[in-house]
Structure 1
Amino acid sequence: MDLVKLTSVMRRLALEAGDKIMEIYNSPDFEVKTKSDESPVTEADEAADALISAGLRAEFPDVALVTEEQADSHDQNVSTFLIVDPLDGTKEFVKRRGDFTVNIAYVMDGSPVRGVVYAPAKDRLFYTDAGGNAVEEMGPFDKETVGETKPIRVSTPDNNALLVVASKSHRDQATDDYINKYNVADSKSAGSSLKFCLVATGEADLYPRVGRTMEWDTAAGHAVLVGAGGDVVRFDDHQPLRYGKETFANPFFIAYAPGVDLKEA
């Protein structure tokens, strides 16, 4: 894989998809349908997926592609692949709350090694550079020319005063029970893969997820967090979260800055 080319292509496609998403987001109305798993899907999900998928297949025709909105791509048995969630946080999109992202990642041998997370309504763009280091690019964004970037790095956590982020749409009692095992100075809620990025930038120390996610929800944010010095482990045994699992479903997990004294489930 040409990682310089990959970085450029993923960044450009995320920005192009973001433009398409915001065009629909800012329209007076848009159609919301329900998928077989009862989750919502909009024309923005579908338009962004078509754009990103076509772009990745054109540039990397020999690399397997898994994308949320194409069910036939979920039948693959692969450990190295591109994986896409064209609009992560559809519930936030539908409610016009802004906490939604475009996620594109490259998984190699079961580990997400490169990724881009773009939050178009918040003008925040995070990605791994060609060397695998995580950066945040400052807007306004140009699809062809990279603007000013700054390296991002996880915090040095204080276990007596941790900063925790949790899901906005999926927070429940089990999540709160686990968070209550820590000494928490501040707890915030956020949607989509932005939670990984808040840990990556040091705006949070810990993000536990006690709930259902799929690999396309997490791979890009996972890659950004690793590129910033963080990690993601399984909730049950604190072993690394791996990718290419059957049906691409994740177990519960914990994303964190090293130095957090992880509690048992």
Structure 2
Amino acid sequence: MDYDKLITVMRRLALDAGDRIMEIYGADDFDVKVKSDDSPVTEADEAADAIISAGLRTAFPDVALVTEEQATSHSERADTFLIVDPLDGTKEFIHRRGDFTVNIAYVESGVPTRGVVYAPAKGRMFFTQADGTSVEEEGPFERDTLGALRPIHVSKPDNGALMVVASKSHRDQATDDYINKYAVKDMKSAGSSLKFCLIATGEADLYPRVGRTMEWDTAAGHAVLNGAGGKVVRFDDHTPLMYGKDGYANPFFIAYSPDVALKSA
């Protein structure tokens, strides 16, 4: 894979999709439907998916593509593949809370090695560079010219005063019970894959997810966190979270700075 080309294409498509999402976000009303799994989908999800899928298939016709909004792609099986969530945080989008992201990732041998996370309403863009290290780009964002890039890295946490980030829309008692095993200085709530990025930038130390997610929800944020020195492990046995699983469903997991002393489930 030409990683320079990959990152250039993924970044540009994320921006294109983000522009279309924000057009719909700014409208007085937009269509919301319910998928077979009872999750919501909007015209923004579908429009962003069309933009990203067409661009990736043109640029990388020989690479398998898995995307949330195309059920036929969920039967794809490949060692190396692109995986897309065109609008992660649909509930945040519907309620106009701004914590939604465009996510595009590249997975090799079960590991998300390159990824882009773009939060258009927040004006934040995170991605892995060709060498695998992660940066945050400062806006305003232009298609063909990179803005100022800031290398990002996970924190050196104080295990006696941790910063924890948890889901806005999926917080539950099981999550709180696990968080209560730690000495917590402060809690943040964030939607979508932004939680991975907050750990990648050192704004948070720990993100436990005790709930359902799919690989397209997490791959891009996982790649960004990997490139910033972070880790994502299974909740049950703390082994690395891998990709390309049957059905693309994730087990519960923990994303964290490696200096956090993890507690058992």
Q: For the superposition of Structure 1 and Structure 2, which TM-score range results when normalised by the shorter chain?
A: over 0.9
Query: What whole-Å deviation, never above 9, does each CA across 1:164-218 have from its counterpart, x for those lacking one?
Result: 0000000000000000000000011100000000000000000000000000000
Aligned length: 265
The Cα offsets for residues 230-264 of structure 1, whole Å up to 9 and x where unpaired, read as 00000000000000000000000000001100000
Query: Percent identity of the aligned residues?
Result: 77
Residue 61 of structure 1 aligns with which residue?
61
Give the C-alpha shift of residue 121 in structure 1: 0.1
Backbone CA RMSD of aligned residues: 0.4
What do the CA deviations read for 1:6-43 (whole angstroms, capped 9, x no partner)?
A: 01000000000000000000011001000000000000
Residue 114 of structure 2: aligned partner: 114
Alignment-mate amino acid for residue 41 of structure 1? V
Q: Displacement, 1:79? A: 2.3
Separation of aligned partners in 2, 1:127 and 1:76: 25
Q: TM-score, normalised by structure 1?
A: 1.00
Residue matched to 1:253: 253
Partner of 1:210: 210
Single out whichever of 76-85 and 173-182 deviates more from structure 2: 76-85
* TM-score, length of structure 2 as denominator length: 1.00
Equivalent positions of 1:5-84 (< 5 A) are 5-84=5-84
Give the SS at the match of 1:54: helix
The answer to whether the 8 A contact 1:199-1:256 is kept is yes
State the secondary structure of the residue aligned to 2:41: strand
Runs of 5+ consecutive residues of structure 2 not aligned to the other structure: none
Correspondence 1:163-174 to 2 at 5 A: 163-174=163-174
Report the residue type matching 1:239 in the other structure. Answer: T
Aligned-partner Cα distance in 1 for 2:143–2:177: 43
| AA partner of residue 44 (structure 1) | A
Matched with 1:89 is: 89
Residue by residue, what CA displacement relative to the aligned partner does 1:39-87 show, whole Å, maximum 9, x if unpaired? Answer: 0000000000000000000000000000000000001122210000000
Report runs of 4+ in structure 1 exceeding 4 Å deviation: none
- After TM superposition, list the pairs within 5 Å mapping 1:137-156 onto structure 2: 137-156=137-156
The Cα of 1:105 is off from its aligned counterpart by 0.1
Match of 1:262? Answer: 262
